[in-house]
Chain A
């Protein structure tokens, strides 16, 4: 159990608490964060998702429409960015797992766990051919 929680801080009334927790668990199940950075992004995804939900529930009053639109745009942008980052990170993690065969490559991969192998040229027969 970490000494800090990244998922805390969602604004929810007592009657919405169960729904909020369900959404958090559903997002965690969909994302399965494997390290602290993925946990940060999963938390951003959840908070953005929950804020969009709150805005949808609160909408309808023309007096606060501008405020709600601004909140929705910001949450929606952060939701998309966090999801994109998570896809990139998990793809990089999968690529490390799938493409680094030799001890030398794996050592390099462990030293640079966030390296994006898709951006590193792969030559015919290399990597994978390292003796």
Chain B
């Protein structure tokens, strides 16, 4: 049992224990509750994994050929989701390597597996949705190259659906982009509004 003097001294000392003050200290304490470090909003890549992650990023950019911020956003979301799923698998492998039953049935891993299950489901959804978005954006860009005449470049927004402008009527006659380019050249039209 502490004496009254000790209790007073404790209370006085506690005034100095107000938590971390530096940015680094606050950042460190913000991670106190993390169990596996996977459920954070921002993807964290360890220094050890960085070379692999950079190689993966470079391969995606090289093969997906993103143009503009929107395609890049979709690509980065796809990359992060794929990497998160890889991190989850590595974590589950570590659980399995800990011995005992499969982590899917081991009683001690029930709570963490439930958390991982939610985390993984979100990452999978993000993986597929970001790829859908990326494909849609590139489809729109491709359609513009084929179907937007030079004079229409400013008038037709980059997110317009191709069906809206592919077979435009000029003076009542449906014309594809080649015919419209020819029509514009013949009539000296530089830009339409």
Q: Do A and B come from one complex?
A: yes
Interface residues of A (CB under 8 A from B): 2-4, 6, 8-11, 35-37, 40, 44, 47, 54-55, 58, 61, 64, 67-68, 70-71, 74, 77-78, 81-82, 85, 88-89, 92, 105, 108-117, 119-121, 123, 126-127, 129-131
Instruction: Using known A-B contacts A44-B85, A54-B102, A113-B64, determine if residue A108 contacts B145 with beta carbons closer than 8 Å.
Output: yes
Taking a contact as CB atoms under 8 Å apart, the answer to whether B82 and A55 are in contact is no
Taking a contact as CB atoms under 8 Å apart, the answer to whether B51 and A120 are in contact is no
Q: What is the count of residue pairs linking A and B with beta-carbon distances less than 8 angstroms?
A: 142
Set of chain A residues within 8 Å of B117, measured between Cβ atoms: 70-71, 74
Set of chain B residues within 8 Å of A117, measured between Cβ atoms: 139, 142
Which of chain B's residues 133-185 have a Cβ closer than 8 Å to chain A?
134-136, 138-139, 141-143, 145-147, 162-163, 166-167, 176-178
- State the majority secondary structure of interface residues on B: helix
Taking a contact as CB atoms under 8 Å apart, the answer to whether B135 and A92 are in contact is yes
With beta carbons under 8 angstroms apart, the residue of A35, A44, A105 that contacts B124 is A44
CB distance from A45 to the nearest CB of B (A): 12
Taking a contact as CB atoms under 8 Å apart, the answer to whether A112 and B139 are in contact is yes
Residue total for B at the interface (Cβ-Cβ under 8 A): 52
With beta carbons under 8 angstroms apart, the residue of B52, B86, B146 that contacts A120 is B146
CB distance from A62 to the nearest CB of B (A): 12
Set of chain A residues within 8 Å of B76, measured between Cβ atoms: none
Taking a contact as CB atoms under 8 Å apart, the answer to whether A11 and B142 are in contact is no
Look across to chain A and name the residue whose beta carbon is closest to the beta carbon of B109. Answer: A67
**22 interchain pairs, CB-CB under 8 A:** A6-B86, A9-B92, A11-B102, A36-B59, A36-B63, A40-B82, A44-B124, A58-B104, A67-B113, A70-B117, A74-B124, A77-B124, A110-B65, A111-B145, A114-B135, A115-B142, A115-B143, A119-B162, A120-B139, A120-B147, A123-B167, A131-B178
Taking a contact as CB atoms under 8 Å apart, the answer to whether B102 and A121 are in contact is no
